[in-house]
A and B are shown apart, each in its own frame.
Chain A
Amino acid sequence: SQQGEEDPQALSIQEGENATMNCSYKTSINNLQWYRQNSGRGLVHLILIRSNEREKHSGRLRVTLDTSKKSSSLLITASRAADTASYFCATDTGRRALTFGSGTRLQVQP
């Protein structure tokens, strides 16, 4: 079963706007990771946040984690057309296998 559920399922924004995607999960985790998948391609790792961290930044990406609410958010600032992709959260419970959510499909209009 899917551990994480992303919200929204689909998001369409204009270039330059910010995009926020949310992820909820069910069990305790060691870390939570976000991946991007371009159409017809494999997944690419974006960022990892550990269970004892609350916020992490990487370039235009900002991830937050609230373990009390079992939720995470991914913010992409100043979006570009090239950011168009599906974004997945994935939880690592310590077993070294990831459990993925259902994904958010982001469309950035030029």
Chain B
Amino acid sequence: EAGVAQSPRYKIIEKRQSVAFWCNPISGHATLYWYQQILGQGPKLLIQFQNNGVVDDSQLPKDRFSAERLKGVDSTLKIQPAKLEDSAVYLCASRPDPGQGGNEQFFGPGTRLTVL
């Protein structure tokens, strides 16, 4: 089966600019996650979707970050305006429903964002 797809793989922008990332999860996976991974650290959850509804966005900086999952499939994560500290790898992951598989998450390759 195809894995989690993300684009772009790399993005360089200047501070105060906007940027958007796209994720296509594994087909049939109802749960989708966006993580932020700063260099040298583990991934930190930004937002969790179940189908097209938000389950947890408590750690999403809502003054500048937004995410949506229209139709419960693809998802986009947007940063507007970007700050220097947003430089990180943004990882998308998906997971099947408990009755359809295990508890592991499947990760995409990530988008490496550099804010200058």
* A contact residues around B105 at 8 Å (CB): 43, 45, 98
Which bracket fits the contact residues of A? 20 to 34
* B contact residues around A99 at 8 Å (CB): 45
> Is residue B43 contacting chain A, with contact meaning CB distance below 8 A?
yes
> Is residue B24 contacting chain A, with contact meaning CB distance below 8 A?
no
B109 touches A45 (CB 8 A): no
> Is residue B4 contacting chain A, with contact meaning CB distance below 8 A?
yes
Which bracket fits the contact residues of B? 20 to 34
A selection of 8 A-B contacts at a CB cut-off of 8 Å is A30-B103, A41-B109, A43-B93, A43-B105, A48-B104, A97-B45, A99-B45, A102-B42
Complex-state Cα separation, A44 to B44, whole angstroms: 16
> Is residue B31 contacting chain A, with contact meaning CB distance below 8 A?
yes
Beyond A2-B42, A95-B55, A96-B48, 7 additional contacts (C-beta under 8 Å) are A43-B107, A48-B104, A96-B55, A96-B95, A97-B48, A99-B45, A103-B42
> Are A48 and B42 CB-contacts (below 8 A) given A41-B109, A42-B4, A42-B110?
no
Name A43's contact: one of B41, B43, B44, B56 (CB within 8 Å). B43
